[in-house]
């Protein structure tokens, strides 16, 4: 069923993404993960967006900063994190990408973007683009069935939850999506939001711990 979504995401790349790039889909634990992390949309910094890339098309491959977040959360071990930090994005191999996402799956988390349309840079997308992905995203969540969903940033949170969200006002507050999925809104931890990464880590650790009780 996820394969069918991938086909649809690829079609939407032609509508909303850069035509020279491929869409980026998802990765990690594909069946009932402990945590699902939802980012905005991918950029060309992800090496898997290149049409010559024949490996997995998963978020953040070839980048560094987001893996620092996952390492500090204890979701990526120090050995593989050190290797991520030591190589250039262009030096990621198909095998290394599989190894990293093998650890993501082993540690029971899942990484995706609300919009899968890859842009050449981190340009802002209008709400209308994210809203056009929403139904497919909800189908994705039904298939993967995460125990908890972490939505990064005001825009993603507002589109998914269907109400105006300011992360600073709803920290550690639980929302219920489709009367089924527990969701939390967390500060965006990379790019322009990197100055809030400590707050992101604090809130995510709280959320993960609260699921164990």
Q: pLDDT, tens digit, for every residue of 146-198?
A: 999 999 999 999 999 999 999 999 999 999 999 999 999 999 988 776 788 89
Mean pLDDT of the chain: 95
What was the pLDDT predicted at 213? 66
What was the pLDDT predicted at 190? 83
Query: How far apart, in Å, are the Cα atoms of 181 and each of 22, 149, 174, 175, 177?
Result: 29, 7, 10, 8, 5
Instruction: Give 25-74 pLDDT, tens digit per residue.
Output: 999 999 999 999 999 999 999 999 999 999 999 999 999 999 999 999 99
Strands in 23-139 per DSSP E: 26-28, 35-39, 109-113
């Amino acid at each position: 069923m996820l394969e069918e979504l991938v086909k649809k995401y690829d079609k939407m790349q032609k509508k909303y993404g850069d035509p020279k790039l491929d869409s980026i889909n998802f990765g990690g634990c594909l069946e009932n993960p402990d945590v699902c992390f939802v980012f905005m949309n991918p950029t060309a910094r992800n090496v898997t967006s290149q049409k010559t890339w024949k490996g997995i098309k998963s978020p953040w491959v070839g980048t560094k900063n987001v893996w620092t977040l996952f390492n500090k959360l204890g979701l990526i071990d120090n050995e593989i994190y050190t290797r991520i930090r030591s190589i250039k994005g262009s030096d990621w191999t198909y095998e290394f990408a599989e190894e990293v996402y093998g650890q993501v799956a082993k540690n029971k988390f899942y990484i995706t973007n609300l919009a899968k349309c890859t842009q050449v840079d981190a340009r802002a997308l209008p709400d209308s683009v994210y809203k056009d992905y929403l139904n497919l995203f909800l189908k994705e969540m039904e298939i993967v069935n995460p125990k908890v969903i972490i939505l990064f940033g005001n825009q993603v949170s507002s589109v998914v939850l269907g109400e105006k969200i300011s992360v600073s006002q709803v920290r550690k507050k639980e929302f219920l999506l489709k009367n089924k999925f527990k969701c939390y809104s967390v500060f965006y931890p990379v790019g322009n939001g990197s100055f809030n990464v400590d707050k992101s880590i604090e809130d995510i650790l709280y959320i993960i711990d609260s699921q164990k009780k």
